[in-house]
Structure 1
Amino acid sequence: MTENLTTGERVAWYRRRRGLSQEVLAGLVGRTTDWLSKAENNRIALDRLSVITALAEALDVSLGDLLAEPTLMEWSTDSGHRTVPALRAALMDYKQLTPLLGGAGDEEPPALQDLRAHVGEVLDAYQASRYGLATRRLPLVLADALAASRAYTGREGEEAHALLALTYHGAAMVLGKVGESELAWIAADRGLAAAQHSGRSEVTASLFRAVTHCLLATGRSTAAIQMVNDAAAVMQPELGSASDEYLSVYGALFLTGAMAAARSEDRAHTRTFLREADETAQRLSTDANHLWTAFGPTNVAIHRVAAAGELGDIQIAADLGPRIDTSGMPVERRARHSLEVARALSAWNRTDEALTILLEAEQDAPEQVRHHYMSRELVIGWIRGTRGRPSRPVADLARRLRIVAGG
């Protein structure tokens, strides 16, 4: 119902549904009535998640309600005609809970080598921003991973549990990207349980990161910060002789923490987490993609820009963002950085540059741009701010994002 409204207009819509005056809502979030009036009328951009989260809490709605991220996954060659509902059914199958309920069948478990390849394909698809492909493959891979975790024992059993945990991690990340935060939490929770049976500390740490992402996606930034601190305390004893995989997951955890801190407007924790991530990246000395983290100096720089944007330091984001060479990063990382740079440039009225960057990101990662609140907010803002008809590129992009009616 509110998909084609700006965030400010959605705030006004929910405020009226709650029967609140502008004065009351403004007071609940520590702002002036004038500020809220301008935000609801698009004279102030609501593009910082810390502010949007505060408004969501005051209105007693979810963060997703105010962001209105579309969860309808477009049918494509990649996705087929069974998308998120099929993955939801797989995750909510009660037989997954315990073998006592009939989850263990007589079927032959998959070879671990084949399962390893299939799990890798799902996580590769996520990093390529091919969410439809990952979603289509996940129910089958999840079924195989569950069968393997119940059939194998000993070291093979540990490997099977590690692969099951990584499958759940992939599910959590994909579902988070398409706005299914509650399902993502189920996947991350089950993934963490599986990881603890794997005997592989780097896999457990990877699921710590997945849980942190889920907390962040639901606006629970303070809990996410605490999660990072708790997980780091568990991980630190092994850092002295850590593998590159372990270091990568450890550093990536702090990057997620930096975003949580920025969304809480906690500058001290933001600096601390970014510094810890940077020091870990220097130990690795190069960009890598161990355990699908894309961790290294470049990803740290990407997160510095994203954190600056969340903290409202738009000038820093606009100056630093375009100078980062992301060409060696996975598509998902490149596109996410492009969205951040486009937002910063748009805030400085460099709309043409921002549009060019957004269109390039759409070429590389159409599904990611389609599902991210930031791209939709930018395009709606450009349309609202144009006298007369928007330019042809903006109008065409709006149609592709399903913002306005069109063929």
Structure 2
Amino acid sequence: MGKRVRAARRAKGMNIATLAGLIGRSKGWMSMVENGQTPLDKRQDIAAIAEVLEVSADTILGEPADDINARLPSVNLVRLREVLHEYSLDDPPDVPVRPLDQTAADLRTLDDQLRRTDYDAMMRTLPGVLDELHAGAHLPEPARSEALRQLITACGLAVIVMRHFGHSDLAWISGDRSRQAAVWLGDPVWDAAAAYQRAHARSSANRSRALLATPRIVDELEPHIGDDPMAHQVHGMLRLSAALAQQVSGDHDEARRQAEEAARLAARFEIPDDPNAWELFGVSNVGVWRTTLAVEAGDPAAAMRISDQVNTAALASKNRKAALHMDRFRALHMLGRDKLAGRELQKAERLSVAQVRHSPLIQETVRDMTAIKDPVLRGVAWRMGVI
């Protein structure tokens, strides 16, 4: 077993001291394991070594390891669940509300943490901000409207986190709370922004009514856009959502038309990929979406061609970069190039672990590939709990 550990470590290009440190063991202990001088007989150690070296446990054991499981990423959702379940706009928590420029600063920090996939840091702040903004919805104007806009933003962040950790129930509650806040606010642009969040609270495979409504909602938004850059960005993201809605409904021509319109909108902006754009609407993010649409249309060659043109350096979010690699993984699998597909999935996992390991579509594709002997792919499959 020690020889297999050494081989996997060298294949990864990692020195023995680094491996020992990452699993919480001494360099001397690790050296004795590799030299066969001490047994590797604890499931916890085997699992930890396999995770760090990005291989499956059976690669270390040299035989099936059905009783050794990787740790799925998790985050403490107790407080967030409490806020969403216990309170509503009609019945807010009895908490003081700080000046709203302070909660706005918190939201900017939370957005940055989401882009870096620092979910633990988010959960230390997001529940309290949601508490305050529920209460803030009862302040006199203009603070009331500002609190509602911020609440829609906060709920949008919660939707993404909950989706990434497989909690579609909480994602849906967050999306619906966003919708309720938009109703209270009465602003067509923010109403459309909330509709976008609700549309993506569940996987597109569910063909939720919220997603299927986006073609109508984006058309209703157009008369209200004006000169506000955010309104144009919301418009663009809803065009992409409408394209996805049409794609999962089987209308490929209309999906293509919606995506092309989104691309035209993105090309009009002075900054092609503004890191401050709403939901990162821009040329590169449109490219990520069009890659997804090509995969959903069953055209993997087009998906690879489109994805090759995406400037990933311009994507200001590890989540969006991971999404691109996930779609390239699916496209390459469709093309029968499973070894390369495994490398794409590994790249995605390194960027956004929870997003990859909790994705039902990725899980299903990996499950279909478990007969593949490629160690990289088997390592990802093991860490996902598929094998």
TM-score interval w.r.t. the shorter chain? Answer: 0.7 to 0.9
**1:133 & 1:308 partners in 2: Cα distance?**
35
* Kept after mapping to 1: 8 A contact 2:291/2:327: yes
* Kept after mapping to 2: 8 A contact 1:318/1:344: yes
Which residue does 1:74 correspond to in 2?
Answer: 73
**1:204 & 1:130 partners in 2: Cα distance?**
28
* Kept after mapping to 1: 8 A contact 2:114/2:122: yes
The alignment status of 1:396 with 2:379, answered yes or no, reads: yes
- TM-superposed CA distance for 1:252, in Å, is 0.5
**1:135 & 1:258 partners in 2: Cα distance?**
32
The alignment status of 1:220 with 2:203, answered yes or no, reads: no
* Kept after mapping to 2: 8 A contact 1:258/1:269: yes
**1:183 & 1:224 partners in 2: Cα distance?**
17
**1:233 & 1:392 partners in 2: Cα distance?**
48
Matches within 5 A, 1:171-186: 171-186=158-173
Amino acid at match of 1:229: P
Which residue does 1:98 correspond to in 2?
Answer: 90
Amino acid at match of 2:237: A
Tell me: CA distance 1:314–1:394, structure 2 relative to 1, closer, same or farther (3 Å).
closer
The alignment status of 1:304 with 2:297, answered yes or no, reads: no
- TM-superposed CA distance for 1:202, in Å, is 3.4
Tell me: CA distance 1:262–1:283, structure 2 relative to 1, closer, same or farther (3 Å).
same
Task: Please give the per-residue CA displacement for 1:182-216, whole angstroms capped at 9, x wherever unaligned.
Answer: 32222212212212434654332211111222365
Amino acid at match of 2:105: A
* Kept after mapping to 1: 8 A contact 2:207/2:248: no
Tell me: CA distance 1:271–1:208, structure 2 relative to 1, closer, same or farther (3 Å).
same
- TM-superposed CA distance for 1:73, in Å, is 6.5
- TM-superposed CA distance for 1:333, in Å, is 1.0
Tell me: CA distance 1:237–1:292, structure 2 relative to 1, closer, same or farther (3 Å).
closer
**What residue ranges of structure 2 are gaps of 5+ in the alignment?**
1-70
Tell me: CA distance 1:229–1:258, structure 2 relative to 1, closer, same or farther (3 Å).
closer
The alignment status of 1:87 with 2:87, answered yes or no, reads: no
- Report the 3-state secondary structure (helix = DSSP H, G, I; strand = E; otherwise coil) of the residue aligned with 2:370: helix
Matches within 5 A, 1:109-124: 109-124=97-112
The alignment status of 1:140 with 2:132, answered yes or no, reads: no
- Report the 3-state secondary structure (helix = DSSP H, G, I; strand = E; otherwise coil) of the residue aligned with 1:154: coil
Q: How many residues align?
A: 315
Which residue does 2:252 correspond to in 1?
Answer: 267
- TM-superposed CA distance for 1:364, in Å, is 1.5
- TM-superposed CA distance for 1:261, in Å, is 1.4
Match of 1:348 among 323, 335, 342: 335
* Kept after mapping to 2: 8 A contact 1:221/1:263: no
- TM-superposed CA distance for 1:317, in Å, is 1.3
Which residue does 1:380 correspond to in 2?
Answer: 367
Which residue does 2:52 correspond to in 1?
Answer: none
**1:104 & 1:313 partners in 2: Cα distance?**
49
* Kept after mapping to 2: 8 A contact 1:298/1:326: yes
Tell me: CA distance 1:184–1:242, structure 2 relative to 1, closer, same or farther (3 Å).
same
Amino acid at match of 2:251: D
**2:144 & 2:209 partners in 1: Cα distance?**
36
Tell me: CA distance 1:222–1:158, structure 2 relative to 1, closer, same or farther (3 Å).
closer
Larger Rg: 2
Which residue does 2:41 correspond to in 1?
Answer: none
Which residue does 1:361 correspond to in 2?
Answer: 348
**2:379 & 2:287 partners in 1: Cα distance?**
32
* Kept after mapping to 1: 8 A contact 2:137/2:148: yes
* Kept after mapping to 1: 8 A contact 2:149/2:190: yes
- Report the 3-state secondary structure (helix = DSSP H, G, I; strand = E; otherwise coil) of the residue aligned with 1:399: helix
Tell me: CA distance 1:73–1:123, structure 2 relative to 1, closer, same or farther (3 Å).
farther
Matches within 5 A, 1:229-378: 229-239=215-225, 241-285=226-270, 286-290=272-276, 292-329=278-315, 330-378=317-365
Tell me: CA distance 1:217–1:271, structure 2 relative to 1, closer, same or farther (3 Å).
closer
**1:223 & 1:172 partners in 2: Cα distance?**
14
* Kept after mapping to 1: 8 A contact 2:237/2:281: yes
Task: Please give the per-residue CA displacement for 1:25-60, whole angstroms capped at 9, x wherever unaligned.
Answer: xxxxxxxxxxxxxxxxxxxxxxxxxxxxxxxxxxxx
**2:383 & 2:255 partners in 1: Cα distance?**
35
- TM-superposed CA distance for 1:86, in Å, is 3.5
- TM-superposed CA distance for 1:362, in Å, is 1.5
- TM-superposed CA distance for 1:268, in Å, is 2.5
TM-score by length of structure 2 reads 0.74
**2:202 & 2:386 partners in 1: Cα distance?**
28
* Kept after mapping to 2: 8 A contact 1:339/1:358: yes
Tell me: CA distance 1:261–1:128, structure 2 relative to 1, closer, same or farther (3 Å).
farther
**2:204 & 2:170 partners in 1: Cα distance?**
12
Decide which moves more: 195-204 or 288-297.
Answer: 195-204
Tell me: CA distance 1:364–1:104, structure 2 relative to 1, closer, same or farther (3 Å).
closer
- TM-superposed CA distance for 1:291, in Å, is 5.2
Amino acid at match of 1:87: L
Tell me: CA distance 1:127–1:217, structure 2 relative to 1, closer, same or farther (3 Å).
farther
Amino acid at match of 2:155: Y
* Kept after mapping to 2: 8 A contact 1:216/1:260: no
- Report the 3-state secondary structure (helix = DSSP H, G, I; strand = E; otherwise coil) of the residue aligned with 2:369: helix
Which residue does 1:189 correspond to in 2?
Answer: 176
**1:280 & 1:318 partners in 2: Cα distance?**
23
Amino acid at match of 1:238: H
Which residue does 2:9 correspond to in 1?
Answer: none
* Kept after mapping to 2: 8 A contact 1:221/1:261: no
TM-score by length of structure 1 reads 0.71
**2:277 & 2:140 partners in 1: Cα distance?**
23
